[in-house]
């Protein structure tokens, strides 16, 4: 877990909780800890007689547990065992490689595992791609018997035949381990549909037409939120309260005061 956190730094924090956590039976504690940490991805380490070394990868959405996947780890080698290999820079974005036919299939445990690993290591979406910025690669390989290999390589750029295209040498830097897929919790359909919503991106250029697109007149009182919904603001003018049609009721005191003193005496 410390080696995985090193690959995620500075976008990761560590929390130690001395409590029995059962993510596949009760997710309330996980949801509360994720809310306190303001995180949407949780990696839980577990050890028991049945599962000696396991990791549970969980994704959150709207402060609720979306889905989770358990992997059973074997043949672990820490990054410190790879002597003389320089690590990647802090916050470097890895190159993710998935080898195996099972990762390309849809709606399979391997496809769901690939989706979770992509969310775990992809980081922020970059505006551009620089070859010099790619320093390491995470390779997950499918083998026979349902076993997967997790390997991390450093990409050393050597002088190539072309000055613009270097020659890449892959040197294993760790961590390294094998794993098999364990239990999984599929997401609720309604929650999954809400998590897949994307904001509407308006393109300012068009490749199909040669003529430039005319910019629309902007309205100061109309805005768009992150999901592409239009929000309008209405400003009311100054109201004339003298023209309001209200109900006028005759007061009892006004009717009694209108009678003169002679009328009051005649009644007696």
Q: Over the stretch 176-229, which tens digit does the pLDDT of each residue have? A: 999 999 999 999 999 999 988 877 664 444 444 444 555 566 677 888 877 777
146 in a structural domain: yes
Residue 153 in any domain: the answer is yes
Which residue, among 241, 242, 243, 220, has the nearest Cα to 232 in the 3D structure? 220
Token reading at 256: 């009694």
Tens-digit pLDDT profile for residues 247-259: 767 766 655 555 5
- What DSSP character marks residue 70? E
123 domain residue, yes or no: yes
Domain span at residue 78? 2-195
Domain membership flag for residue 190? yes
Residue 42, domain member (yes or no): yes
List the one residue out of 116, 131, 90 whose CA is nearest residue 8: 90
What's 135's domain CATH number? Answer: 3.40.50
Q: How many domains does the chain have?
A: 1
Give the residue among 34, 30, 28 at the shortest CA–CA distance from 13.
34
Is residue 77 over pLDDT 60?
A: yes
In a domain, 221, yes or no: no
Say whether pTM exceeds 0.85.
no
In a domain, 114, yes or no: yes
Rounded CA separation 90/140 (Å):
22
**Residue 71: is the preceding peptide bond cis (ω within 30°)?**
no
Q: Is residue 124 part of a domain?
A: yes
């Amino acid at each position: 877990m410390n080696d995985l956190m090193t690959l995620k730094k500075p976008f990761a924090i560590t929390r130690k909780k001395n409590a029995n956590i059962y993510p596949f039976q009760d997710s309330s504690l996980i949801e509360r800890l994720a809310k306190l940490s303001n995180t949407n991805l949780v990696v839980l380490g577990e050890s028991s007689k049945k599962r000696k070394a396991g990791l549970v990868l969980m994704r959150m959405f709207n402060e609720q547990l979306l889905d989770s996947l358990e992997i059973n780890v074997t043949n672990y080698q820490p990054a410190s065992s790879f002597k003389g290999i320089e690590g990647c820079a802090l916050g470097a974005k890895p190159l993710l490689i998935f080898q195996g036919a099972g990762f390309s299939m849809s709606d399979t445990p391997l496809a769901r595992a690939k989706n979770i690993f992509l969310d775990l290591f992809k980081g922020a979406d970059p505006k551009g791609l620089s070859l010099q910025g790619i320093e390491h690669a995470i390779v997950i390989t499918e083998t026979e018997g349902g076993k997967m290999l997790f390997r991390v390589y450093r990409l050393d750029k050597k002088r190539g035949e072309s000055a613009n295209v270097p020659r890449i040498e892959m040197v294993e830097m760790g961590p390294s381990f094998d794993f098999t897929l364990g239990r999984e919790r599929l997401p609720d359909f309604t929650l999954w549909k809400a998590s897949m919503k994307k904001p509407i991106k308006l393109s300012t250029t068009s490749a199909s037409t040669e003529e430039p697109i005319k910019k629309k007149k902007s309205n100061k009182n109309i805005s768009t939120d992150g999901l592409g919904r239009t929000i309008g603001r209405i400003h009311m003018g100054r109201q004339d309260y003298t023209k309001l049609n209200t109900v006028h009721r005759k007061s009892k005191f006004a009717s009694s005061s209108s009678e003169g003193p002679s009328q009051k005496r005649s009644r007696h």
